[in-house]
Amino acid sequence: MSARSVSWTALRGPAGHPPADEGLRERKKRLMRQQLSDTATELFMERGFDAVRVAEIAEACGVSEKTVFNYFPTKESLVLDRWEATTVSLRSGLADASPVDAVLRILASELEDVLSWLAGQEDAALARSAVRRFGELVSATPSLRAHQRDALDRVVTVAAEILAERAGMSADDPEPRIAATALVGLWDVQARSLRAHLDGDQGLDEVRDGVSAAVHRAARVIDTGLGSYPFTPSQS
């Protein structure tokens, strides 16, 4: 498996599914967006984030630099675009009676995306290495880390607003903010656990069980803390 043969969608975040009524125009836009992001990720993985110019990504895809920025507002968002889809999932999921259960369902779906991608690769060792190297790319690049922190702050803000509305509170109150921060922190638990489990020779079912167990352990702590939170069913 060479870098050029990899679709990085599952590693960047929720893969999602094309809508059943997707038209030709929408399909072309979706495929162009994926091509731009996949190409950028390949180049970043090969040469490092700072060594690749957006103009090179545009040239490799046969488009203008302006076209790249029409799809992605920043160079960092070319590789870290996952949080938009996660935010959409949270907006609907947090309307459930249990925010912890909603987040666990989203995380389980995102984990399944990655494991399905791994299962579909011909070279399992190289595929696992790609997952680890993707994480290393982000952690080793200051601008990507900063972009990730900003994106997470926006996700926490959205989650806090939803939780505050359900409790009849202000999003500026400490309770919804700390609840949202804790819930969003489960994504970090899952990412760290996944990288740790992929370092060994476990089968994918064992990886799934191990990562899920770690996430559920952390979730139990949050669930206990949320026991006193005045949740009410969403009216939306």
How many domains, the chain? 2
Tell me if 147 sits within 8 A of 76, measured CB to CB. yes
Could you read off the pLDDT of 133-187 as tens digits, one per residue? Answer: 888 899 999 999 999 999 999 999 999 999 999 888 999 899 999 999 999 999 9
Tell me the pTM. 0.84
**Alpha carbon distances (Å) from 156 to 149, 171, 172, 182, 228:** 10, 10, 12, 9, 20
* Structural domain includes residue 236: no
Do residues 126 and 58 both lie within one domain?
A: no
Handedness of CA 223, 182, 221, 212 (dihedral sign): positive
Do residues 213 and 112 both lie within one domain?
A: yes
pLDDT given for residue 184 in this prediction: 96
Confidence tier at 235 by pLDDT (50, 70, 90): very low
Could you read off the pLDDT of 15-60 as tens digits, one per residue? Answer: 555 666 778 888 899 899 989 998 999 999 999 999 999 999 999 9
| Residue 22 tokens, joined | 């997707």
For 37, the domain range is 18-75
* Structural domain includes residue 5: no
Do residues 100 and 172 both lie within one domain?
A: yes
**Alpha carbon distances (Å) from 56 to 78, 224, 231:** 13, 50, 50
What are 172-180's contacts with CB under 8 Å, separation 24+?
175/229, 179/99, 179/222, 179/225, 179/226, 179/229, 180/156
Domain of 141, CATH number, reads: 1.10.357
* Structural domain includes residue 235: no
